[in-house]
Amino acid sequence: MQTLSLACWNYDRCEPLIDGQVTIDGVQLQSNVIYPTKIFASAFTEAPFDICELSASSYVMQLSQGQCEYVAIPVFVSRAFRHSGFYVRADSGIITPKDLEGRLIGVPEYQMTMALWARGILQDDYGVDCHTFKTRTGGTNKAGRRERLPLVLPDHMDVRPIGDAENLNDLILAGALDALISPMTPQAFTEGDPRLRRLFADPAAEERAYFRRAGLFPIMHVIGIRRQLVDANPELAVDVFKAFVAARRIAMDHLEETATASANRLHLPWVAAEWEATRALMGNDYWPYGLAENVADLEALCRYSHEQHLSPRCLDARELFVPATLDLPGR
């Protein structure tokens, strides 16, 4: 029995692995529940875990440079539509996405996957030239956040960190930024400050329309395995993949039980309606793992990484994963 460490957040689709309900053949798992950004801070520089959650953007970026200590399997523990993550200063004059061109835009990290997808969507869906952005990077509500991997960008791109003691929320309220792109809600918006509003008044409607048009469910994070472990035993990647698929299935079944029960287990009054609406739009099994059913999403991810000057070349989706996992079913 081999003892391996796992680091991921406690998503419902990972909990069956974390609590031991699902096991990996021949592996004693030591699970570490850690918030994703804290995992990423060390994963791409120190690789302290055997199996761990990885930022998809930073993984593609590092893999394209031939430097990554991990190799991924097609398990997508985090996916999210991101139209809700565009915030603008109310007096900025920004009404439409095109109005973002040439503006001062705050983002936690230029390389983060959410920002990668956000710029790609602005470009593909709204015709926005994101290379005109004057990008300022740093923590949304707390100071001190920096790029996890160094950037090598063309000279014409204006991407700079904010001050060590500054955060994006305070800067936009002070008028030093025009807009924010952030997966974390700015404190001012949470508190109902009228000086800050979302770019899209109904982001959920915008996201549904995006899915109808593009058919993409943006992939945020993948699961990586230490490369030397896979090199020594390629079958390990297959076993880990199958375990994550089994855990996902349990989570999907549990969600169905919750949505169809006679009593609501959650503090969300319309959970059943949301579950039904999601299935009606995206299909009954709308969160598949595996390469085959996610090729379009992965190709977009790789293309955006190259177009946004994070990857020196555009990777093929098949290059991202352990070869033994490429044809495995993800449901």
User: Could you state, in order of their start, the residue ranges of all structural domains in the chain?
Assistant: 2-79+218-325, 83-214
Instruction: For residues 120 and 95, give the distance between their C-alpha atoms in angstroms, rounded to a whole number.
Output: 19
DSSP string of 27-90, one letter each residue: EEEEEEE--HHHHHHHHTTT---SEEEEEHHHHHHHHHTT--SEEEEEEEEEE---GGGEEEET
CATH architecture of 2-79+218-325: 3-Layer(aba) Sandwich (3.40)
At residue 330, the pLDDT reads: 85
Q: With beta carbons less than 8 A apart as the criterion, state whether 78 and 287 touch.
A: no
Residue ranges in the chain modelled with pLDDT below 70 = none
Instruction: For residues 73 and 112, give the distance between their C-alpha atoms in angstroms, rounded to a whole number.
Output: 19
Looking at CATH, the fold of the domain delimited by 83-214 is given as D-Maltodextrin-Binding Protein; domain 2 (3.40.190)
20 Cβ contact list (under 8 Å, min separation 6):
29
Q: What angle, rounded to 10 degrees, do the helices at 203-214 and 271-282 form?
A: 20
At residue 178, the pLDDT reads: 98
The candidate with the shortest Cα–Cα distance to 12, out of 229, 271, 276, is 271
The pTM of this model reads 0.95
The candidate with the shortest Cα–Cα distance to 181, out of 250, 249, 133, 124, is 133
Instruction: For residues 3 and 23, give the distance between their C-alpha atoms in angstroms, rounded to a whole number.
Output: 12
2-79+218-325 and 83-214, same CATH topology: yes
Alpha-carbon radius of gyration of the chain: 20
What type of residue is 250? I
Instruction: For residues 31 and 16, give the distance between their C-alpha atoms in angstroms, rounded to a whole number.
Output: 11
